[in-house]
């Protein structure tokens, strides 16, 4: 991805299914350079340039524990360096996350579902024992439902997603 502001992002991802779908592994990794210009009004009335250079990697492993029910763990690594205009300090952070995941997968086909649903919940901890300076514990829930349309040649999908952090402050960078 590239934009006129000089923002770019490159990523690679994969999903792998082993032992007749008893084990599932999903991965994603990427790098990016995000450029922004924001205007602060009121008494300041000034534009500020903002740049964030980011690299990240994510690995999740799940195992079938019951019929259509999977449970697993994952690890997330995110490093970003934020640079504001000259009068503001530069900020660098590295965040590590440990994920617990449970899903119910009733899709007709994993790669191109025409019917069924997928329910997934994730709990991620960004705790101090992993080297994080800021603690965060978000919990997410997603629901995807697939409906066949046009004599089962196409699919209509409905997605609901919600998240909640179990802390007073959340220090995550969501992309």
Decide if 87 is inside a domain.
Answer: yes
Give 67's DSSP letter: T
- Confidence category of residue 136, pLDDT binned at 50, 70, 90: confident
Average pLDDT estimate for 137-159: 94
pLDDT at 173: 42
Average pLDDT estimate for 136-153: 93
- Residue ranges making up the domain that contains 89: 8-165
pLDDT tens digits, one per residue of 106-130 = 999 998 999 999 999 999 999 989 9
Residue 133 Cα distances to 93, 127, 129, angstroms: 9, 8, 10
Average pLDDT estimate for 74-89: 82
Decide if 171 is inside a domain.
Answer: no
pLDDT at 168: 63
pTM of the model: 0.79
Q: Which residue has the higher pLDDT, 34 or 59?
A: 59
**Domains of the chain: total:** 1
Decide if 170 is inside a domain.
Answer: no
Phi-psi region of 76 (alpha: psi -120 to 50; beta: other; left: phi over 0): beta
Q: Which residue has the higher pLDDT, 92 or 32?
A: 32
Q: Which residue has the higher pLDDT, 92 or 16?
A: 16
Decide if 138 is inside a domain.
Answer: yes
With pLDDT > 70 as the criterion, what percentage of the chain qualifies? 86
Nearby residues of 172 by Cβ (< 8 Å), 6 or more positions away:
95, 126, 136, 138, 165
pLDDT tens digits, one per residue of 155-169 = 999 999 999 887 765
Decide if 3 is inside a domain.
Answer: no
């Amino acid at each position: 991805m590239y934009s006129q502001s000089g923002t770019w992002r490159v990523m690679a991802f994969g999903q792998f299914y082993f032992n007749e779908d008893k084990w599932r592994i999903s991965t994603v990794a990427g790098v990016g350079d995000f450029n922004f210009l924001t205007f602060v009004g009121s008494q300041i009335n000034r534009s500020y340039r903002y740049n964030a250079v980011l690299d990240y990697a994510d690995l999740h492993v799940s195992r079938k524990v019951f019929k259509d029910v999977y449970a697993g763990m994952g690890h997330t690594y995110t490093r970003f360096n934020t640079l504001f205009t000259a009068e503001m300090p530069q900020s660098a952070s590295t965040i590590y996350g440990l994920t617990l995941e449970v899903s119910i997968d009733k899709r007709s086909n994993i790669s191109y579902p025409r019917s069924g649903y997928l329910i997934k919940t994730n709990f991620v901890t960004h705790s101090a024992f992993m080297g994080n300076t800021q603690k965060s514990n978000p919990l997410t829930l997603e629901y995807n439902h697939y409906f066949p349309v046009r004599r089962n040649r196409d699919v209509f999908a409905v997605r609901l997603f919600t998240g909640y952090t179990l802390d007073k402050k959340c220090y995550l960078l969501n992309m």
